[in-house]
Amino acid sequence: VLRTPQRREVTLLFCDVRGSTTLSENAAPEVWVAQLNEYLTQMTLAIFSFDGYLDKFMGDGIMAVWNAFGNQPDHAELATRAGLQMFRRLEFLNKKWANMPDRTPFRIGIGLHTGEPVMGNVGSEERTQFTAIGDAVNTAARIESMCKQFGAEFIISEATAERVKELFALRELGETEVRGRAATIRIFEIVRDTAATPEGGEARDATRKEEAGEESAD
Amino acid sequence: VLRTPQRREVTLLFCDVRGSTTLSENAAPEVWVAQLNEYLTQMTLAIFSFDGYLDKFMGDGIMAVWNAFGNQPDHAELATRAGLQMFRRLEFLNKKWANMPDRTPFRIGIGLHTGEPVMGNVGSEERTQFTAIGDAVNTAARIESMCKQFGAEFIISEATAERVKELFALRELGETEVRGRAATIRIFEIVRDTAATPEGGEARDATRKEEAGEESAD
């Protein structure tokens, strides 16, 4: 589907596996790829459960967008709920993997940012992909990369926090510089233990279809 | 095509547009995407001219791999020649864009690294992509990101330099740290003015087919 490029308010999600480089160097290639694919399948299901657009994988990294098209005014909330479900799905995977001799537990970091990138079909004549480009994308990636520095698992920017602060328990972490920007932006951690099951959260989660596919076509 | 994941020696190419974030914030969305797609099409043609595998686009970023499959013992040379052609194609584009009021000239940085990532079909059940994963990929991306710091356009790692030092003019830039590694690696700049047309380079370039498509299928 060709869409006219447009600047839109979206919420961007980046997710990465911590220390995956070291893990991957020590694993047999077919074992590592099998574990990675099992992981990415579960994370994708969490994204689709909350109607997110899977933008791309980058190795073990994931980029997803809410309000990429259509009308999703609650994009920040949906992205946060998807992130929380990603952690829950990872807990199940890690429990399963604990009983398998050739699996290593994963730890992940998730970052969210709400901004106004350009959404459009970007690429060469032979291969275009509907994706987000611009400043907001770099900022979202940068926020995810802060997880390691702050020892946090789930960090959101001030712009996202303003839209979800009534819905989830947040802890301010401080400020961070963003490449190419003079100003710093405030970042917040989603407090998972108290925020995991707010009133209605699980119910909504459960009723959303988890079949994938429609949104994933390039 | 499903391939068994395997660790292979490959040469990885990363390429980025310098300052694209600032440029993109000032351009009309449809103008920016049109320019980006024109650029990505030309860069892809350079990659295909030297039989590279286009791994993915990341916004304006490009990741390509040589010896991703099949048998390409001269993968480091092919990747270097593709990089040189990318600069030549960009020069043509910039000349054309100079006469168009809504186009801004691009400057790019390219980084190469030769290493042994795992090549395999990575992704979720619904969407897998043949790609490179592991330490070597992070190192290649890191080397490309050194262009800005060193004021260089085309940087290659020591591992790539060892394979092409008889073929191209190199200038040692120094050493750089790579995330998650204790040791530093030496990096070299490809000196473009003297290396652009070595004996036979242009002829080989010209005889290679520039039709794309076969290698670009996900």
Mind listing the pLDDT tens digit for each residue in A59-103? Answer: 999 999 999 999 999 999 999 999 999 999 999 999 999 999 889
- Pick from B126, B134, B212: CB nearest A25: B134
Stretch A31-52: mean pLDDT, rounded? 97
Q: Is the dihedral of CA B185, B186, B191, B197 positive or negative?
A: negative
Model confidence at A181, in pLDDT bands (50, 70, 90)? low
Distances (CA, A) of B3 to B70, B119, B121: 11, 9, 7
d(CA B91, CA B80): 17
- Neighbour count for residue B134 (Cβ, 10 Å): 23
Cβ–Cβ of B124/A37 closer than 8 Å? yes
Query: In degrees, to the nearest 5, what angle opens at C-alpha B39 toward C-alphas B37 and B44?
Result: 90
Q: How far is A169 from chain B (nearest CA, A)?
A: 31
pLDDT of B172 reads 97
Q: Which residue has the tokens 């380079």?
A: B201
Return mean pLDDT, chain B: 87
Query: For A116, phi and psi rounded to 5 degrees?
Result: -125, 75
Strand pairing class (A154-157; A108-115): parallel
- For residue range B113-150, what is the model confidence (pLDDT) as tens digits? 999 999 999 999 989 999 999 999 999 999 999 999 99
Contacts of B120 in chain A (CB under 8 A): 29-30, 33
**B121 Cβ neighbours under 8 A, 6+ residues apart:** A33, A37, B2, B3, B5, B128, B129, B130, B131
Alpha-carbon distances, residue A218 vs A10, A60, B131 (angstroms): 19, 19, 17
Mutate to test the interface with A, among B35, B48, B118 (most CBs of A within 10 A): B118
* Chain B residue with the nearest C-alpha to that of A135: B21
Q: How far from A89 is each of A44, A207, B12, B183, CA to CA, in Å?
A: 10, 16, 33, 36
Q: Cβ of B25 and A134 within 8 Å?
A: yes
Residue from the list B22, B56, B120 with its beta carbon closest to the beta carbon of A33: B120
Q: How far is CA A138 from CA A83, A115, A177, B60, in A?
A: 19, 11, 12, 12
Average pLDDT over residues B74-98: 97
B98 interfacial to chain A (CB closer than 8 Å): no
- The whole-number pLDDT of residue B199 equals 42
Where residue A177 falls among pLDDT bands split at 50, 70, 90?
confident
pLDDT interval class at B2 (50, 70, 90):
low
Nearest in space to B34 (alpha carbons), one of B100, B109, B107, B110: B100
* pLDDT beyond 60 at B53: yes
Let me know: does A175 contact A7? Beta carbons within 8 Å. no
Establish if A35 touches chain B: CB-CB under 8 angstroms: no
Residue of chain B nearest A122, judged by CA positions: B37
Confidence category of residue A214, pLDDT binned at 50, 70, 90: very low
Which B residues in the span 45-74 are in contact with A, Cβ-Cβ below 8 Å?
45, 54, 56-60
Q: What pLDDT does A2 receive?
A: 64
Helix/strand/coil for A174: strand
- Residue A87: CB partners within 8 Å, gap ≥ 6? A108, A110, A153, A154, A192
Query: Does ipTM exceed 0.95?
Result: no
Q: What percent of chain B has pLDDT over 70?
A: 85
